[in-house]
Amino acid sequence: MLNNAKRVWVRDAEHGFLLGRISDIGTDNVTIELLSNNNKTLVTTYDSVYPAEEYDKDVPDNCALMYLNEATLLNNLRSRYKKNRIYTYVANILIAINPYEELYGIYSVETVKNYNGKSLGVMEPHVFAIGDKAYRDMRALRQSQSIIVSGESGAGKTESAKYILQYLTESYGTHSGQIEDRINKSNPLLEAFGNAKTTRNNNSSRFGKFIEIHFNEKHRVVGGYISHYLLEKSRICVQSKDERNYHIFYRLCAGAPESIRSALRLGSPDSFHYLNRGCTQYFCNAQSEKQLAQNRRSREFISKGPLHDPQLDDMNDFMECDKSMDHIGLTSQNKINIYSTVAAVLHLGNISFEDDPESTKGGCKITASTEQSLTITAEMLGLQVKELRMALITRVLMTKTSSSQNEKSIPVPLKAYESQGARDALAKALYVKLFDQIVNLVNKSIPFSSSVNYIGILDIAGFEYFPINSFEQFCINYCNEKLQQFFNERILKEEQTLYEKEGLGLKKISYIDNQDYLIEAKTTGAFDLLDEESKLPTPKPDHFTAEVHKRNKGHPRLDFPRKSKLRSNREIRDDEGFLIRHYAGGVVYSTEQFLEKNNDALHASLIVLIQECKNSFIKNLFADSPELAQTGKLNFISVGSKFRSQLTDLMNKLRNTGINFVRCIKPNIKMVPNLFEGGQILSQLQCSGMVSVLDLMQQGFPSRTQFSELYNMYKSYLPAELARLDPRLFCKALFKALNLKDADFKFGLTKVFFRPGKFAEFDQIMKSDPDNLAVLISKVKKWLLWTRWKKAQWCALSVIKLKNKIIYRRQCLIQIQKRVRMWRVYKQYAPRIRGLIKVKALHAQVASMEQIANQMKINKEQVVKQVQQLQQRVDELIGKITNTQMSSNQIENAYNDLFSAIDRELRSLKQILEQQKVKEEQDRLHRIQNELERERNKITDEDKRSVHESEDFKMRAKLAARQKEAEQLMGKLGTEESKMKERMLKEAEENKIREAIERRDYELAWRLGQETNSEVEPLQFLMRSRSKPVNSKFDLQKHSYAQLRDLINTSCDLELLDACREEFHRRLKVYHAWKSKNRKLKNGIERDDERAPKDIMDKAELTGMPMAAASKSNSSSQSKSDQINEQRYFRIPFRRPTDKNLEDNDQRKNGWWYAHFDNKWIARQMELHPDKPPVLLVAGVEDHNMCELSLDETGLANKKGAEILEKDFEQEWLKNGGKAYLHSHSGQISSKYVLQLMRHYR
């Protein structure tokens, strides 16, 4: 039964999934024998096990797999990754795994040409194919397109975006190439100023960018534009131990010519405060390491050597950055200004402060050792040393005097830590404004003419989680929440809505919706609360944190840090941070620096300093700055609000364009080639929504096109008489002629939908050689003739129907006229007519009295006379109403008197007649009994037949009574049952979502724990049992499946036997539910392997406690011994699941399904189909092929007409080759008999 040869995947934290075989099944858990670990066994839950395919098999599109689940998805990616096939489709979504090495040839000019104009699926999966699809969609739909490149830090998003950019500009650029050259050559410059080394990515983008490639009416590149979002400012001043600042600082120190280096007073990274607290090693190859001067090397570089990355080299990259500036048209002076500003930031960071003992107001001063840094910084920024000093150690307070309305400035000394904050704020403002200016210069350098449409490429920082997460991670993860929500809407929600609108009739797919996250909610959202706190006179981080918890108390996505799965996070106090359960898992944020990082404003002294700056370049950087507009006011500029506004604009752009998705995956945390860490890859796939996409695509149709577009695309390949067809008919004719399988496409109301890869096959057939097209055309013509003949038939039938409808309406007109005339008369004589109707109705009662009187045998004449008198009174009243003007009250009183007299007399006559009949019946029964007694000895055979008929009648009466009782009880419980079902389904869905969120929290914490060697709390829902043993006397949970079956077949203890059957069938139900969930599909159609009719299995899925209660109550009147021996038999129609796809009812093949239940469990099962031999199954031998449901769960006892007699079942059983079953055992199934059957079947 367990099919030990069949392999399955079992979930594993480290590898994602491991191969094994099912060795035993339980009610809650399943035992797996692992194949890769010396046959070690593992006990796990059913939802952690999936059926496996061939281990080394790989397909370019995961939708082509036989089993569509997360395990086969991961294994397919693993198999392709080993063969250096880093790209894989899931329908129209591309999964790209970062190889961490250069793969030669796959991005060459020749490869670019190979993908031009090719549909998805024609060529191997590639990022170029996504670029070409976006271009073709832009042309065909005349709509701008966007490509969202998403993934974690280090997954290769930036590189993927660069390759898409390369493809579009090389394939569809102009001959001069100036625009393409400027766009592509700007990348080194942007990466130098916006990328940095992190623990997870050597070239991590610390900002987001949306690159627009604009096209003219001829669909050629005519311009470009770059929008950027949320540069990580805090990195400018501080980095963690193993991370670096932005690349430009190190490249300037390592690669700048000696003249620039001396002019900017540069040294090694060790000599700068903003660099020496992080990693100070350079990226170098062997050659550049030799060329690097000794005085440019840091102590860490000397002791540990350089960092290695095939994409990075600080010395050579400085030259690339310098050339990039030349390409975008910067002059030598422009470049010097940029380098000088970068150096000024470094020197500014070297200025340190100490408390001034001579200050009476508790101020501070600049340390003597950093006076030179102050002088250098002032010189580079075009400031007076004195002015810079005062701006750093004091702030200006603006006040109004009582005698004057003019404002007066009062310098307020700052403490050492406040001056350090002012220094860092100025440094961050300088660098951010410089970065803004560089992006503006790049945009200005790109020639731009009139644009019709564009293709946008979004490359933004991926989801981030570190041991300590601050405001930057909060904003980045907020952005990723919005993008994931957009993905859910566009791919999952809108896709299913489209299927529903087009009438495809596909079931809905559930997924974890993240619309209820609490970051941007009005008044209670974290952003609004942060801005609200920042505007208070004395804002405090702990008060902000407390408000977040208070305003969102009970929110399912918010919790305290101590609830984190990562034990190290539990040291954070409740007022020091909060945990948000993102779509990717729970992340703990430390709020200590949220207020500071959310304020983008400089204090007044620094603003005045910038306004009086003599360096025109620096002054221009802040020309349009909102900080300068707020001089003298309470300075607060919300970084969060600004970012929210930018993100809203971006999301509006995305919603107004067609969308393509590239999901980038990081294969390992060590960032090395040829290492596939399945556990953390699986977590990324789940977080990116790819598992939900698999469920959707399992029955989905990702490729679709309008009928008119398909018509315009291929009409040129067909002759004129076919090209004139209606677009919808044209498409139908093509598909019928091509013999396309019905499962490969579906017709909607306005579109035709294709399964993954099928549109490409269709396209290839259509563009084949002329000989094939000639055959195709003849098939189309033949199909059209057949279709038109069918239409002519239907037209004739419709005309006949119309004629009959006209005749019918004419008859209805006559009826209407008759009714109107009648109504007019009725209105005039209404009171008397109503009286006559009521009185005439008494004739029927008088007539019934006459019939009763005629049956009388005693006092018949007297009774007849009384009836005649009543009849006379009725006639007199009718005559009176007809001939005289009686009022309504008079008619009513007369009627009531007469009615009472007739009713009284009628009841009396009925009573007398009933007594007469009882006496006659007693006499008749007495005579029959005497006659039967005399004849009993003469006709023994007839008597036996009569007894059998009587028993049949009683059984049928019993069945009818039981059915009626069940119907009455179900009618009473109907409402309660539906509410119970709804509640149970809701609870099951909530539990499913809760477990999925808990699993994601655990997986995210586990990945972070792997990096930091921290402990992770195990998953709780995997630890607890989901059900308890039904029978407390016998603990059968530890028995294996085989042991339970042996006990059922050999035990004579009825109580133990009942407990074993209960446990046995509970395990079967769970196992079959797992198989059904992970069943193999053929072209998205369910297989014909049902163990019972589909409506029975569907009923069981919805069966709740009320149904079980009804069934139990239905049999509560029986004794316990009767219930043990009760044998019941049922018969219902059996229709195949695949028959629902057949339009013609005549083609649907129906069979019969027979079931024999021994008490509550099935004992025998028989299937009779018209086109195959009968299938006879016996419990104890073929349990795995039989219905595992109890009688209560099937609902058969409540199904009208389903229950049959024992003899009806036995007759069919024996007729179809079954063995006699119960006759030798007095109605009780014996274990001896089952053992004999097992030997017979074996």
Q: What is the DSSP letter of 466?
A: -
153 is in an annotated binding site: yes
Task: Pick the closest to residue 1157 from 1124, 1128, 1125 (CA basis).
Answer: 1128
**Residue 183 class from Cβ within 10 Å (0-12 exposed, 13-18 middle, 19+ buried)?**
buried
CA distance from start to end of the chain: 14
40 is in an annotated binding site: no
Q: What is the DSSP letter of 283?
A: B
Alpha-carbon span 577 to 652, nearest angstrom: 32
CA count, 13 A, side-chain hemisphere, 936: 8
425 is in an annotated binding site: no
- CA distance to 706, 707, 736, 784, per residue, from 729 (Å): 13, 9, 11, 9
Burial of 1161-1172, coded b for 16+ CB within 10 Å and e otherwise, reads bbbbbbbbbeee
Alpha-carbon span 75 to 9, nearest angstrom: 9
**Please, are residues 723 and 715 in contact by the beta-carbon 8 Å criterion?**
yes
Burial of 223-236, coded b for 16+ CB within 10 Å and e otherwise, reads bbbbbbbbbbbbbb
Alpha-carbon span 887 to 931, nearest angstrom: 64
In three state form, how does the secondary structure of 617-646 look? HHHHHCCCCHHHHCCCCCCCCEHHHHHHHH
3-state secondary structure at position 470 = coil
Task: Pick the closest to residue 214 from 436, 437, 443, 441 (CA basis).
Answer: 443
Alpha-carbon span 47 to 10, nearest angstrom: 9
**Please, are residues 733 and 487 in contact by the beta-carbon 8 Å criterion?**
no
Q: Following DSSP, what letter does each residue of 291-303 receive, concatenated?
A: HS-GGG--HHHHH
Task: Pick the closest to residue 625 from 899, 437, 825, 815 (CA basis).
Answer: 437
Alpha-carbon span 684 to 450, nearest angstrom: 41
CA dihedral of residues 314, 316, 318, 320 (deg, nearest 10): -130
Place of tokens 């795995």: 1184
Q: What is the DSSP letter of 507?
A: P
**Please, are residues 426 and 602 in contact by the beta-carbon 8 Å criterion?**
yes
271 is in an annotated binding site: no
Alpha-carbon span 938 to 949, nearest angstrom: 19
Task: Pick the closest to residue 391 from 602, 606, 615, 634 (CA basis).
Answer: 606
- CA distance to 192, 201, 274, 664, per residue, from 312 (Å): 10, 12, 21, 20
Alpha-carbon span 18 to 37, nearest angstrom: 9
3-state secondary structure at position 89 = strand
Q: What is the DSSP letter of 406?
A: S
Task: Pick the closest to residue 1065 from 955, 1177, 1189, 1164 (CA basis).
Answer: 1189
3-state secondary structure at position 571 = helix
26 is in an annotated binding site: no
678 is in an annotated binding site: no
The radius of gyration computed from the CA coordinates of the chain, to the nearest angstrom, equals: 43
Alpha-carbon span 1229 to 1223, nearest angstrom: 10
Q: Give the distance from CA 1032 to its chain's centroid.
A: 40
1202 is in an annotated binding site: no
Instruction: Say what angle helices 860-883 and 830-840 make with each other, to 10 degrees.
Output: 170
At position 1108, the amino acid (one-letter code) is: A
Phi-psi region of 1108 (alpha: psi -120 to 50; beta: other; left: phi over 0): alpha
Q: Following DSSP, what letter does each residue of 1161-1174 receive, concatenated?
A: EEEEEEEEETTEEE
Annotated binding site for ATP: 151-158
Annotated binding site: 151-158
